[in-house]
Every structure is written in structure tokens, then in C-alpha cells.
Structure 1
Amino acid sequence: MKAVAIIAEYNPFHNGHLYHINKIKSAFPEHIIVAIMSGQFTQRGEPAFVSKFQRAQMAIQHVDLVVELPQFYAMSYADDFAYGGVTVAHMLQADTLSFGSESNNLKALMHEAIRLDNTEPTQRDRGYAELMSNGLKSNDILAVQYIRQGMHCPGLSFYPIQRVSNAYLDESLTGEISSATAIRKAYYDAANFQQALPQSSLQYISDPLNKDTLFQLLKYRIVTSDLSTLRTIYTMYEGLEYRIKKNIHEAQSYDHLIERLSTKRYTKARIRRLLTSILLNVPESKPQIEAIRVLAMNDQGRHYIKHVKSACPVPIITNINKQNVHYFSLEVKATDVYSILTGQSQTEFNNPVIYKRP
């Protein structure tokens, strides 16, 4: 059995994602499709629009296997995000990694990936800036990171798919294929977004999280943490702990706090990721991926797990219990916090693997 892997957030799963999957099915009819999906908090540093369990339900209607991108990597910068996703794909023996691309120019993307990989680590920030100055857009920049990480995984090839319709961060709906950003905005604005989602996704859209609760939880964490504790948090650099301590008492809301903390140097996305790291008490050290969590599977996905299980370097876990929970401490914490924000009674222990029957 062979597999094509996709690294995605599905926040929520929309028609653009379905287009991508259908393109893969046409190009690789004998392969199964594995989605490596973000958990409760996303790469933008925000709680997901709907829970990972609901998004796994959306995704498994169209792919064969949904596994979780470990929470640390799901809420990280592009390079760590890509590292986590590509590592899981390689552990699961995927032979192809497919991703969206504005340019759909694999040769050019590989050239940029090699150039970036040969850049001294201390100069990588400048390298990322050059990617943007060269005209690369959001998906292409992430594609370069996927390729850079994947070049170190023997046997992994790449299959870009041309992005259609609007850009990743566009906030305006553009008909049946619109960005996840535009769909989320339309939902919060009480606008009609249903045409942008497959019918199978609509039933899993639920009430949004409570941002006031998010702010109060975050405020409690910051106020009760001393400066030395805050300094140990992931991406807490250059004295940001002082700015956060000062502004938490003056901010009136979560969005207001982000406005007060963000600058040209510290973008809103960077601040959101940092605040989420504080909320979840994420330490600076990068964790090893010690297990893979299966969120959903169909019959083909179940057979594929059996096929690769002996060759996979880490355990493949279908249900979290007392014996394996130590692999998923951050995921457990993220789901506990997410359930408070949404008012849903969800834990890692009462959500068994989703099995889609034939």
C-alpha cells in the first residue's frame, strides 16, 4: 500500500480542500490519502474554529486516515510546523507529500528550499524575508518549508497542486471556493458561507468559542506567573515578558491585548502564538515526536495502519488511555482548555477514534 500525505488545518474543511483531495485521487488512484491535521490550536496562534474531533469528522468523509499534527508543531512558526508535519508523514511511510501552491512551480520551489537549507541558521530570518521579497505567497512559502524538511526524508516526493480562487488570508468570500479565513469571517459576521463548504461539513459547524473566557484564562496565567516563569515559554524572546506583564493590566480584551503588544517587529500572528504558548504553558525546548495519534479512519486507513505499524518508529495510537497519555500531555491540556472556551464537554478520553464504515 502507498500513501499521499497532506498537512492541513481544515479550519474548517471547505471546497478548496475537497478540490485538492480530488486532484490527488485523480493523480494517485491506487494510493490512500493521509491527512496530518492540526489540533485544537492552529498555526495562526488561535483556537481552532471548530474542534479537532469535528474537523476530523469533516475530513474523513473524503480521505482515508486523519492523524493529529502534534500540538507543539501545529502552533509553531512555518519551519517547525513543516518539520512536525513532514516528520509524521515520513514516520507513516508516505511516499508523496502534496500541498497547495500559488505558483505550482515545483522546480522553483525546490530551488528556494535548497537555498534556504544551505543558509546558516542564524541567517534564516533573512532567508524567509527574501522569500516574501521574491514574490512568494503564503502557500508557496509553506511549500518551500515542506520541501526543505522533506529533502532529508529518503523516498519522499512532492506533488504541488495549483491553488484556485482567492488567497489563503483573503477575507472576502469568492463563491464556492473561498479561503478558510473568509469563511470564518463570514460566520462571525452572520453572513452566508454555506456554499463554500461541502454539504458533509455543514453539520459539524458549531457555536464559536468565547473570546472573553480566553482573555480571562490568559490574564490569570500571566498575572500569576513571575517573570522567570514567563521567560521559559516557547518564543519568549527579547524581554517580551516585561511588555506582556505591563500590558495585561491595561488591555480590555484579547484582541486589545494583541493590538497593544504587536509591532512591526512582533506581528499579530507571532503575538497570538506566544500568548497561546503562555496559556498552555509550552516550554522553549522542542519535543520529540514519540507517538502518532489517529483521529479518524475508514477501512482503507485501518488497513494502512496495520501495513505500516511494524515499520513506524513510534507507536500509532488510536485511543488515549492511562497507559499512553504521557505521549500526549500537551494535547490533553489543549483539549481541556478548548472545552472551557467552547463550553463543550470534550476530553481526550471521551473521544474515541472515529471510524467511517464502508
Structure 2
Amino acid sequence: MTIFSLTLGLVLAWISPLAELADEGEEIRLSLLTVGVPGLVIFSFLYLRVIKAAVDGTGARGEIIASAVVAVVLMLTQDGGPWSWGLLGPAWVSGAALLLGRSATIAVTVAAAAAGLFLVWPGDGFAEVFAAPNAESHLPGLGAYLGVAAAAPWSNRFQLWFWQLFRAAEEGKEARARLAVTEERLRFSRDLHDLVGHSLSAIAVKSEVASKLSGVDAGRAAREMDEVRTLARQTLKEIRAAVRGYRTVDLTAELRAMTAVLEAGDIRCTLETPREQVPEGTATLLAWVVREGTTNVLRHSSATRCRITITLREGDAVLEMTNDGVNEDGADGRGGTGLLGLSERVAAVGGTVTAGPGGPGTFRLRATIPLEGER
């Protein structure tokens, strides 16, 4: 789509030959068929390569020079005025400007406009035409031509700048999602270190003491090993409690956090929750669904609005996340391995997870989980 929006130069380049080919009342010139059309095909190929290089962020110096040579040859060999083959100059600049700086763009714009005027002006040439008594009649056409020549390259540069801005915004969304995951991993590793680091150090020291005392004072060595066993059991209990705490997520806190993340990504979020308290096991699964759904919205959509609703009905808790950012990555509802793993986890307690179009231009993630929790 971006490449298509940057093809203004091709439209300008093909105006004259298409108009001449469509004119049934005029015999088609031999030079148009043998030089003009083939030359424009070559020019179009080089022009598209320049656009692709600009979008990909690579260079295309050879294509820019080659297309300039083709444009000059066509303007010298074909009959017409500035509004026919003379438009090849602005057409070439509209592509070359994508890979040039501002100063260079201004310079080539002036040069291409001059080439379009001096190389293809009909009759006795540009200077003679404006020295004639009726020179004023050419001024409106000249002004319009210069306006097109000046606007074409900057229009394309704006289109490319807008594309780069959009791509940077998408990369920013992905970076925020990766940062959130990284921060969560760091938090877990820090908490785990603080929790068991001291206990493991104590176990190591007491085991070393018991080893040294085993041949000297068997009784004290046995007491040290008893303490090691006690510390090990306590540490294992603390680790299990910590992991259980991470698995048991606070649904209310998770909803607030995910809403804040979405709004930080310029996505207006609406949240609807039931007045009744959701059972702990079901709330944990719903929190995981919200977290995965938020990740998919940030990474696989261009949403501007997101609606999260949780309802309790007929013995089930139903969560729906609907957004208006359907695109090619998320329209089919598969969502990658994240949703697949989530579906397996919810299915283990008798629930279901579905994802797909929720209406015109919307995408919906729906999870139904029994309120009695794990079966």
C-alpha cells in the first residue's frame, strides 16, 4: 500500500503516451512505439526500484542515475510540450527525492523543471516563445507546470515520512510489550533471589560444617544436618508459596494494569466487571486471558478502542475483549502460540476460548470458564 501511494511519478510519466495512444483520430507516431513506450517501461521499472529502496531504507544510486538518463533521452526524442513529455522531469524527481536530502531535492527539482521546459518546448524553443507578442498566453500554463514540478517531490517525501512514522509507532508497541515481559521476568527473578538466596547460603555453610565435623564430632555433625534438612524444607515451602502466589493473579489488579498499558498505547479502554466476587481459581484464569488478550491487541492490531467485559451467568464466568484494530495479522483469530496455550489451560477446567471477528471491523476474544474452578 505504501509503494502504491508513492507512484505519483509514474502517473505523471504515462499521461502523454496514454493520451496519444487513446487518440484514435491521430496516427500514432513510430518513435512513440519504438522509443517512447519501451523507454517508459524501463523508466517505470527503475522508478519502482527506487521506491522499494526508500521503503526498505536502502540505497539506489544506480537506479536514480539510470532513470534520469532515460528521462532525458525520452524528452529529447519525443515531440510535445511541458504538459506531455516534459512531465518526465517532475516524475523523476518525485522518485529521486525519496533518497535525497532537502538541499539536494531542491536542486534536482529546479534542474528537472528546467529540463522539462527547455528540452521539450514546441516550436522555436522556450526563449523564442516568450519573446513573441503573445507570450502572456503561456504564463498560466507555465505557472501550473512549475507548481506541479515543485509539489510532486515534496508530496512523495511526505508520504514516505508518514510511513516511517507509522512503522516507528508499530515498533514502539512491540517494544513496550517486550519491555513488559522483561520487567516481569526481572521482578520474578529478583523476588526469587531475595526469597531463597539466604536460605540456600545457610544450607551450603551448614553442610560444609557438618562435613568437617563428621570425623571429629558426629553428634554435632548430625545436629547440623538436621538444621540443613529443616532449612531445605522451609525453603521448598517458601518457593511453592511464591510460585503459587505468581500463579494466583489478582484479577482486579491485573485489569487495572492491562487497562493502563492499553491506554499508554493510545487505545481507549472500557472496562465492565460484575459486582459479585469471582472465585479465586476462575479469577486467576480470567487474569491470564486478559493479559494474553492485551498482548495480542498491542502486537497484532492497530486498535484505537478496546472493550473488556466480565459477566457471571449460568454457572460460568464469561470474559470478552473486543477491539476495532482488525488487520491481516489478527483477523483470522489464531493469535499464535499464546492463545493456543491459553486455550489448553482453560480447557483443563472445562472452559473454552474463542477468537475471531466480532462484527464489522472488530476482533473479539471470548473466554468461558466454569465458576466451580478446576475439576
TM-score by length of 1: 0.21
More helix by share: 2
Tell which structure's C-alpha radius of gyration is larger: 2
TM-score by length of 2: 0.20
Higher RCO (C-alpha under 8 Å, 6+ residues apart): 1
